[in-house]
Structures are given as structure tokens and as C-alpha cells.
């Protein structure tokens, strides 16, 4: 998922500034660590420190939460030495420097496209045309090897374009028990009514089974937690080899759990943070939560997440009631796609909200001037405006003042923008107030904004802060948040008020969405539909 991304696509991590930036602004891209500091001892066979502590490079133990918190507590600084990620332009994701070997590339190569949809076929049967009109066998398209001279056979391979793509579901051919499919994936085998069948939850755990988690697993599977039919609760353990205690795995299998493969080499992400700690800290929450309150665990690549589910929070927000919730104070709809005023979605123009995050300074002012040069206007002739979610560090407030003067909206994006992403998920109400109301005070004072127009905020790294964030927003009189993202839907979602329940699932494995009523608007971010032009993102330097 996108949740772990530290740098938006196209940006590089500046290890000195500890922030993402344009490549030509980052001149330390070949440095792995600030000042080549000692590494912490995180992945030792036996833990060096007691629970919730981790070892510095010199084996002293400090609290785990002091790692990567922006302050060096280890004498050798090693607690802050393994925190920076780099952007992998090929993989379109952030990774540790030694995993990224294309650090000097700024753009993904633009490859030629195959000629698949020509009016008359160019090639004989079972052959298709490369971008240069040469014909190669159809099965060589999207096979992972470039056979066209221009590489175009591998350049258009998503599920809508791969010439060898799988057929759509055919329930006539595909029958239980050998096969099951449905067009949207939600049909129930045997055509049962989803309302009438019990929810099934698959409990899974990833990575090494060893001293760091065996006790926890014993606690979870202590025989007290049973299925409605009285049978004991079982799980699937996806076991990776390194650090695994196989006699413990044998015991798990003996007790009826399923064992499954999760690789020998344990291609870790991120490599220097041990899975066992990541995993156990999240799973830890489970032991304190009744099974009935447990949310379906989702695998996020390296840890499981359990949180308060909007369907189970006893104080959850009510479902949308359009009788009570009326424009302009309130707007909601059950699935989020209704249009205010009951207008027909087909008949209203598409609205696009343009937003920019982080510091405004010499690194981007010219770009903003270029974008907002007055040439780009709305269909009604009014100039194009944007919202700038401004973080404090490195911000030039006279530039912010100028943006505001020119009609753009200024909003809060925190003071510290701390790169400890989990901080934002679990920050207290006071922390949120310090960061966001504090940021607003600074903006208003330094950029001399006196019209009370700083009313919105966005959490760093798009980490939704749950009920704490939104409680703070009410207390501090923020009007809207723009951190929540929604899965791809057609039509996309409208902004909604969080007095009523969110009209879509909490999107993103690591997100902590609000469950309760808050008098706050959500300017929800809809996922960009890339299917019309899969190459669209190549020219986009940032993420929406």
C-alpha cells in the first residue's frame, strides 16, 4: 500500500534535511546516513534488551519509542541512524538506500507503446504489433522480457491492456469447489444471501516465530477464545525462515494452526526494523481487545493492524440522516456519491481541488509561480486557485503571505512534520492541538493572515489521527480535514461531514479513521482513476 511511503513519487529523501525534496535540491543522495553514524542492533538472534527497549550500536538499551523520533538518545546516535528512505523510481516506492540503485534517475523512462488498437490489424493472427510496427507473437507481450526493439511489448501491461490478460469471470464455467469468481468479488458461493451468513474472519500472522512472540501467541490461543460453534480459534502462520524457532512451529501445527510459507530470505521492509518487534507491538493490542471488537486484520507488508472498528465502537457516529443533515452546514449520503441538491452527476462539471503540502520556500516558489501564472483559468474565466497545506520547518512565510494575497487558501500541516509516521496515527488530543492549532498561530502571525481563513488541515504522511485528531479539530474550531483517502469509486465521493458515519471503508492498512461524531467536514481525497491513461503519473511530480 501507499501508507508506508515517505517520499511522494518523483521526490528524493534529503538525509541532512530529513525531508523529501526535488532531486536537484538533494545533494546527499549517495549518503546513507547522516554523518555515517553507528547502526542500532535491531535484528539480533536473541533480544539484547527487555521488552519495549531496543539496543543502540554500543548495546545500551533505550526505549523503543525513542528510535527515529528525531532526537539522538544513543551515545553513538544510532537510534536515528536507520530512519531515512530513498525513492525508487522504477519500483515507484521508497526503500532503504542500499536497495535503491537508480538514485540518479529523475524520471521513469518513457517507453514506446505497442500498436494494439489499430483499425485494421497490422499483424497476422496470434501476432501483435510493436510500437515500430514489427510483429511479434502475442504471447511475448507482457511476459517480463522485452522482445520489441523499442520495448513496447512490456510497456502497456496493466490488467486492461495486457493482450494475454485473464478473461472476466464466467460463473457458468467456474464452479465450486474447483473454482469461484464473481464480477465484483462480493457474490457468496452458492448464491447465499450475504445478510444471512456469518462473518468469517481469517486470522493470520507473518514472519518468524520465536521467543519474541511465542508467549503472545500462547496468550492469544489460550483456549478461552472460541468460534460461535464452540470450536477453538485457529490461525494461519506465514512463517519466514530467519530467526524462526521450528520446534515452536511444530507445536503450532500440532495445536491445529495452519503453517504457510513466507520466504527463506525474509525480504524485509524496512530491512533494519525487525519484524518481530513491529509485529508483536501491533498484535499486542489484540490481547487487550475482545475478539468481538477485533477488526479484520489486514496485512500491511510487515505488520498487522487492529483498531477500533466503526461498526463496533459503542460511541460510533450515527448513519447518515439526510433529513437532519442539510446544506450548507452539513452534507452526507449513505455511499458518499450523492450530489448536493440531488443534481444528476452526469450533468454537473467535474470539480478538482488542487492542493500542495509541506514547506513553501525557494525550492518550490518558482514552480508555484509558473503553475499559477494567470494563464490557467476555470471554464468561467476565474483564475485557478489552490490550497497550500503548510508545514513550519523551512517555510518562507513571506511567500505564504503572498500566496494568500493572490487568493490561494492556506491551511495547517503541522509544526514539526515529524517523520515518525505512527506518531500521527496515535497522537493525543493535546499533541494534535500543539501541532495544528500551533501551526495555524504561526501561519497567521508570520504570514499576517488576519481574515480567519486558515480553517483546514492535513496530517503529515496522510496519517489519519482517529478520534483524537477530530476531537481536537472541534475544540480548536477547524472547519475541515483533508487527510482521509477513499478507494476508487465511480462516481467519486463528495466532501462529507463527519457528524455522521464515514460513507466508505477506512482506506489504507495503517489508517486510524474516526469512528465518532465530529462537527468537521472531510474533504475526502478520491483515488485517481489511472485506467484512461496509465502513463498519467509519469508527468506528475507529487502525489494527490
Which residues bind to Zn ion, rule: CB under 5 A?
357-358, 460
Q: Minimal CA–CA distance to 136: which of 118, 121, 124?
A: 124
Q: Is 137:150 a contact under the CB 8 Å cutoff?
A: no
Q: How many CA atoms lie within 13 A of 73 on its CB side?
A: 17
Q: How far is the CB of 333 from Zn ion (least distance, A)?
A: 30
Secondary structure class of 27 (helix, strand, coil): coil
Cβ proximity to Zn ion: between 424 and 500 the closer is 424
Q: How far is the CB of 77 from Zn ion (least distance, A)?
A: 25
Q: How far is the CB of 460 from Zn ion (least distance, A)?
A: 4
Cβ proximity to Zn ion: between 458 and 504 the closer is 458
Q: Is 231 exposed, middle or buried (0-12, 13-18, 19+ CB in 10 A)?
A: exposed
Q: Minimal CA–CA distance to 423: which of 469, 391, 483, 482?
A: 469
Cβ proximity to Zn ion: between 239 and 360 the closer is 360
Q: How far is the CB of 388 from Zn ion (least distance, A)?
A: 11
Cβ proximity to Zn ion: between 206 and 431 the closer is 431
Cβ proximity to Zn ion: between 439 and 467 the closer is 439
Q: How far is the CB of 2 from Zn ion (least distance, A)?
A: 14
Q: How far is the CB of 7 from Zn ion (least distance, A)?
A: 10
Q: How far is the CB of 17 from Zn ion (least distance, A)?
A: 13
Q: Is 202:236 a contact under the CB 8 Å cutoff?
A: yes
Cell of residue 280, nine digits: 508483536
* Cα 217 from Cα 240, distance rounded (Å): 16
Supply the DSSP string of 131-144, one letter for each residue.
Answer: TTS-EEEGGGTTSS
Cβ proximity to Zn ion: between 358 and 435 the closer is 358
Supply the DSSP string of 135-201, one letter for each residue.
Answer: EEEGGGTTSSS--STTSGGGSS-STTT-TTPPPPP-TTT--TTT----SSS-PPGGG--GGGS----
Cell of residue 171, nine digits: 460463473
Q: How far is the CB of 458 from Zn ion (least distance, A)?
A: 7
Q: Alpha carbon 448 to chain centroid distance?
A: 34
Cβ proximity to Zn ion: between 213 and 425 the closer is 425
Amino acid at each position: 500500500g501507499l501508507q508506508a511511503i515517505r517520499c511522494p513519487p518523483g521526490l528524493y529523501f534529503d538525509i541532512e534535511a530529513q525531508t523529501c525534496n526535488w532531486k536537484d535540491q538533494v545533494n546527499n543522495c549517495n549518503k546513507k546516513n547522516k554523518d555515517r553514524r553507528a547502526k542500532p542492533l535491531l535484528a539480533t538472534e536473541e533480544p539484547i534488551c527487555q521488552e519495549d527497549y531496543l539496543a543502540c550500536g554500543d548495546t545500551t538499551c533505550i526505549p523503543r519509542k525513542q528510535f527515529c523520533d528525531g532526537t539522538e538518545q544513543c551515545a553513538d546516535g544510532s537510534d536515528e541512524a536507520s530512519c531515512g528512505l530513498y525513492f525508487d523510481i522504477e519500483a515507484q516506492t521508497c526503500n532503504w538506500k542500499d536497495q535503491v540503485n537508480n538514485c540518479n534517475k529523475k524520471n521513469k523512462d518513457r517507453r514506446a507503446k505497442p500498436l494494439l488498437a489499430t483499425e485494421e490489424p497490422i499483424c497476422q493472427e496470434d501476432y501483435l504489433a510493436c510500437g515500430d510496427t514489427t510483429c511479434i507473437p502475442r504471447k511475448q507481450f507482457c511476459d517480463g522480457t522485452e522482445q520489441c526493439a523499442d520495448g513496447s511489448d512490456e510497456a502497456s501491461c496493466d490488467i486492461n491492456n495486457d493482450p494475454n490478460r485473464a478473461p472476466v469471470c464466467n460463473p457458468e464455467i467456474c464452479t465450486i469447489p474447483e473454482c469461484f469468481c464473481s464480477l465484483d468479488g462480493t457474490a457468496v458461493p452458492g448464491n447465499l444471501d450475504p445478510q444471512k451468513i456469518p462473518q468469517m474472519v481469517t486470522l493470520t500472522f507473518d514472519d518468524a516465530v520465536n521467543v519474541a512472540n511465542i508467549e503472545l501467541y500462547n496468550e492469544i490461543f489460550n483456549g478461552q477464545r472460541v468460534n460461535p460453534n464452540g470450536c477453538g480459534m485457529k490461525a494461519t502462520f506465514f512463517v519466514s525462515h530467519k530467526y524462526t524457532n521450528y520446534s515452536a512451529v511444530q507445536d503450532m501445527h500440532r495445536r491445529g494452526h495452519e503453517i504457510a510459507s513466507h520466504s527463506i530470505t525474509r525480504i524485509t521492509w524496512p530491512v533494519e526494523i525487525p519484524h518481530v518487534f513491529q509485529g508483536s507491538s501491533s498484535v499486542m493490542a489484540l490481547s487487550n481487545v475482545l475478539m468481538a471488537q477485533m477488526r479484520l486484520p489486514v496485512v500491511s507488508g510487515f505488520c498487522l493492524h487492529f483498531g477500533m472498528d466503526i461498526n463496533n465502537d459503542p460511541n460510533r457516529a450515527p448513519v447518515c440522516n439526510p433529513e437532519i443533515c442539510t446544506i450548507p452546514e452539513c452534507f452526507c449520503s449513505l455511499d458518499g456519491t450523492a450530489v448536493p441538491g440531488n443534481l444528476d452527476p452526469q450533468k454537473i462539471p467535474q470539480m478538482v481541488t488542487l492542493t500542495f503540502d509541506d514547506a513553501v520556500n525557494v525550492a518550490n516558489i518558482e514552480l508555484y509561480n509558473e503553475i499559477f501564472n494567470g494563464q490557467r483559468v476555470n471554464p468561467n474565466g476565474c483564475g485557478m486557485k489552490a490550497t497550500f497545506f503548510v508545514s513550519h520547518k523551512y517555510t518562507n512565510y513571506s511567500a505564504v503571505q503572498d500566496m494568500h494575497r493572490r487568493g490561494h487558501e492556506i491551511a495547517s500541516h503541522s509544526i514539526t512534520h515529524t517523520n515518525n509516521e505512527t506518531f500521527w496515527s496515535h497522537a493525543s488530543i493535546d499533541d494534535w492541538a500543539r501541532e495544528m492549532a500551533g501551526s495555524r498561530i504561526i501561519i497567521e502571525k508570520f504570514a499576517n493572515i488576519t481574515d480567519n481563513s486558515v480553517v483546514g488541515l492535513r496530517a503529515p504522511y496522510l496519517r489519519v489521527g482517529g478520534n483524537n485528531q477530530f476531537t481536537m479539530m472541534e475544540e480548536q474550531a477547524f472547519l475541515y480535514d483533508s487527510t482521509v483517502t477513499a478507494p476508487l469509486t465511480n462516481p467519486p465521493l463528495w466532501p462529507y461531514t463527519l457528524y455522521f458515519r464515514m460513507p466508505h471503508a477506512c482506506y489504507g492498512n495503517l489508517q486510524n479513521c474516526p469512528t465518532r461524531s465530529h462537527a468537521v467536514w472531510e474533504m475526502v481525497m478520491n483515488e485517481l482513476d489511472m485506467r484512461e491513461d496509465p502513463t498519467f503519473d509519469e508527468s506528475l511530480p507529487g502525489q494527490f
